[in-house]
Chain A
Amino acid sequence: AQRVTQPEKLLSVFKGAPVELKCNYSYSGSPELFWYVQYSRQRLQLLLRHISRESIKGFTADLNKGETSFHLKKPFAQEEDSAMYYCALSTQGGSEKLVFGKGTKLTVNP
């Protein structure tokens, strides 16, 4: 079965410190992975996807198929990065859907 695990429910760092939000997945097919973010009082929105290999708001994420991970990283956290972050896996082949992890709440302290 497809599964996305975000082991940390809460993560707290200081401004300027590096941050890494962990995401591990379980899927037998070819994975397509995403990070979604929800800022306070805003809608859930796409942050980045592994296919585009882009950096959004200083965040990057690399798909590691060997470790089945898709960790989200930023070298210098900012207070405005405080939000709820969800990792998601897109499944294909007869059971197409988007499977979300339970999310990690990131707090960046001043």
Chain B
Amino acid sequence: KAGVTQTPRYLIKTRGQQVTLSCSPISGHRSVSWYQQTPGQGLQFLFEYFSETQRNKGNFPGRFSGRQFSNSRSEMNVSTLELGDSALYLCASSWGLSSSGNTIYFGEGSWLTVV
């Protein structure tokens, strides 16, 4: 079956702009988590959605937001982009909550560069 799909794979934005990233989970998976990966901070948890509800949020400013649709597809949005938001954004899906021991499957990520 198809894996976790993220779009777009690469994008360049200007400071102050906003960006929306999309994630299609594995069919049947109801949980979608988002992570930011940078060389300095590694993988940092952004938020997790389960059945269209945000279950938990990491320590990121309110400029970072997300949502999940009824078909489990998820989007994350970053408004008023800053240079420091340049990172690889990873989406992961699982059948149940990632904290409940369910195996999570990662997408290839969306590379965001802010100039």
Contacts and interface: CB of A to CB of B under 8 A. Distances in A.
Contacts of A44: 90, 92, 106
A51 B101 contact: yes
Contacts, number: 56
Residues of B in contact with A, size category: 20 to 34
B48 interface: yes
Interface residues of A, number: 20
B26 to A, nearest CB: 12
Interface of A: 32, 43-46, 49, 51, 86, 90-92, 95-103
16 contacts: A32-B101, A44-B106, A45-B106, A46-B104, A49-B101, A90-B98, A90-B101, A96-B56, A96-B97, A96-B98, A97-B33, A98-B45, A99-B45, A100-B42, A100-B45, A102-B43
